[in-house]
Amino acid sequence: MAYGLLINYAGVPYEISSLFPDNGLASLAAVLKNENHTVQIIDYSTTTTIREVFGSEVRKALIPIAPVVFGERMLNDAEIASLLEIEGEIKKNERSFLDRQIIELSKSIIDNNVRWIGFKLWMSGTQQSMHIASKLKELFPHLKIFAGGPSIDLFQEAIIEKFSFIDALIFSEAEESLPQLLKWMDGKLDISEISSVIYKTEQGIVKAPVKRIEKLDALPFPVYDEDVYNAMAGNQKMKIFCFDESRGCIMGCAFCPDVNKYKKQRIEKSAKRCVDEIAYLQEKYKTAYFRFSGSNTSISLLEEIADEIISRELSIKFSVFSSAIGLKSKTVEKLAKAGLIGIFIGAESADASQLKQYLKKGTSPDKIRNIVDCCKKYNIFVSLSMIYPTPFSNESTLHKNITFILDCLKGYEKCSVPHFPAGLYPYTQWFENLEEFGFSLQCPTKTDYINEVLFYSYNVVLPRYLWKDLPYTLNGKTFKELLLDTFKMSVSIKNNGIIPYLPEANLMMAPLLGYDDYKVFAKDMNIAMFTGDSSKIEMWNGKFNSAAKQIHRK
């Protein structure tokens, strides 16, 4: 059987949830082990990466400017120039770090006779991952290179067109496709027989039809063993396990690229399987914290899971991601009893016409407000996600959003409002119907746009209003102008005592780290991540991991 590596490079970790173990790769490792393949997960989202990429000199330069970046005003020109210089040093350090990893990976390929590598590609790390892949392919031409992950969902054929050394991409779920690719590699299967893959032939690029995994219950439990998932050793990772209870969403929001992948079809695990998996992970890896990662799990399944957790008397804490459609007070009460501590609600706008006409989201401000009130009643942390600016939004929309947020959350300490300007992602309704939604491209064609955005990466230390431009306009405004409008909303939210930007996943660990005030933790965490304070972050990981074990034992 084939020895392979699964590599995760999502850029330099810039938020604490970047340090959670990767459930997708752990699931793949379990499937491959069941088929007698040997696999190693190489995950670079660790404190070691932060330490090596930032370095002591960069840290010294960032510490004085951190209070300004996370203060109440925008940076002046001199501060921006200084930060851009530091950003350049970080990029140099990152390239040196990547080159060192290529040497280490080369040794592993030789020592273990590695025959294939699968890269998980993220928008913030695609270029870096492909730098590693191209160098390894030059050194080992026989090596098969596969790739999957969020970037494939967004860019699809453009990736294999740009990086022709890739042998195949996996679009959508990989638990069936990757083992089949290994059979193809061994000459036991023709690639034309494999679903959910994209590959190149002499005749051109082939995109096979997507085949969903219909029986999620049949998947093996994910593997986080240190001999397989090396980064789990020590405290490089914060051991909050993302838990895959459902895949796909029935909503069909205009801004979401998942519609292209899942076709508004949601597939769920059974409640029994969900809780069997939670209990297994809790016992084997001595943890008590989970984040349900389904993007819109049905309320009925959430209630059944809660009932199952309660009946088994499991001592766990968890957060969920929800559109809030159908969520009622009794559901929140039951989930809270089962261990719910946080909920991410995709609100997006306080303007009912925006929600219906331009976001294509089947909810309303009143429904969202009711759910927020239910969460407050049961002391649940609320992350109220918003998008602003949106298609054809204006100052009136901004006022409605801010008024709505303050009415819902002002004075409630367990809350945050992660918010972003409308992002133009390929394969969404917005992208397919640009003018209808007020978008225009600043490049000749949609293909040109996809190729340009493919190389976009987030700035590691720059505030959002200084992020690199993207080649589109909305409502006649450039991306940077949209970011400045978003910043206005951030200031208003922050001035009223509400945490901007951060979702609940970045804050759910605060109590175990000794923080009673989430705002204090948010500030400390932002500064630690911004300055690359790997020692402090690793100390937090250790403290959290140890405390989570104690909850597990109760």
From the list 32, 209, 200, 205, the residue with the least C-alpha distance to 116 is 32
pLDDT recorded at residue 465: 84
Assigned token pair, 152: 């494939």
pLDDT digits (tens, 9 = 90+) for 367-379: 899 999 999 999 9
For 246, the enclosing helix (H) or strand (E) is: strand 246-247
From the list 464, 456, 506, 457, the residue with the least C-alpha distance to 482 is 464
What ranges make up the beta strands (E) of 45-109?
none
Contacts of 298 (CB under 8 A, 6+ apart): 246, 266, 268, 326
**Axis-axis angle for helices 329-338, 365-377 (nearest 10):** 40
Burial 511-530 (b: 16+ CB within 10 A, else e): bbbebeebbebbbbbbbbbb
The C-alpha R_g of the chain, in whole angstroms, comes to 23
Give CA–CA dist 330/551, Å, rounded.
26
Give CA–CA dist 345/413, Å, rounded.
17
Assigned token pair, 366: 């009143």
Q: Give the residue-averaged pLDDT of 173-193.
A: 96
Write the CA distances from 276 to 223, 279, 285, 551, integer angstroms: 15, 5, 14, 18
pLDDT at 419 exceeding the cut of 80:
yes
What average pLDDT is seen over the chain?
94
Assigned token pair, 148: 């999957």
Contact 41, 22 (CB under 8 A): yes
pLDDT recorded at residue 466: 85
> DSSP string of 380-421?
-EEEEEEE-S-TT--HHHHHHHHHHHHHHHTT-SSEEE-EEP
| Residue 3, CB-side half-sphere exposure with 13 Å CA sphere | 8
What ranges make up the beta strands (E) of 436-509?
439-441, 472-474, 477-478, 499-500
From the list 205, 207, 301, 321, the residue with the least C-alpha distance to 260 is 207
**What's the burial of 487, exposed, middle or buried (CB within 10 Å: 0-12/13-18/19+)?**
middle
From the list 487, 525, 519, 483, the residue with the least C-alpha distance to 409 is 519
Give CA–CA dist 503/494, Å, rounded.
14
pLDDT at 492 exceeding the cut of 80:
yes
> DSSP string of 143-161?
-EEEEESHHHHHHTHHHHH
| DSSP state letter for 16 | G
pLDDT recorded at residue 548: 87
Is the preceding peptide bond at 67 cis, omega within 30 degrees of 0? Answer: no
pLDDT at 507 exceeding the cut of 60:
yes
pLDDT digits (tens, 9 = 90+) for 102-111: 999 999 999 9
pLDDT at 553 exceeding the cut of 60:
no
Q: Which domains does the chain have, with CATH numbers?
A: 3-207 (3.40.50.2300), 241-424+479-508 (3.20.20.70)
Give CA–CA dist 343/147, Å, rounded.
31
pLDDT recorded at residue 262: 82
Q: Give the residue-averaged pLDDT of 189-193.
A: 96
Give CA–CA dist 198/195, Å, rounded.
9
Assigned token pair, 448: 């040109």
Contacts of 167 (CB under 8 A, 6+ apart): 144, 145, 146, 181, 199
pLDDT digits (tens, 9 = 90+) for 208-236: 999 999 999 999 999 999 999 999 999 99
Contact 469, 461 (CB under 8 A): no
Contacts of 204 (CB under 8 A, 6+ apart): none
Q: Rounded to 5 degrees, what are φ and ψ at 147? A: -150, 145
| Residue 243, CB-side half-sphere exposure with 13 Å CA sphere | 31
* Tokens 């809780």, residue located: 275
Contact 501, 416 (CB under 8 A): yes
| DSSP state letter for 245 | -
Lowest pLDDT segment from 32-41, 66-75, 192-201, 335-344 = 66-75
Contacts of 509 (CB under 8 A, 6+ apart): 16, 238, 240, 289, 540, 544
Give CA–CA dist 497/494, Å, rounded.
5
pLDDT recorded at residue 259: 80
Assigned token pair, 285: 């890896």
pLDDT recorded at residue 552: 52
Give CA–CA dist 206/190, Å, rounded.
13
Assigned token pair, 276: 């069997």
Give CA–CA dist 438/436, Å, rounded.
6
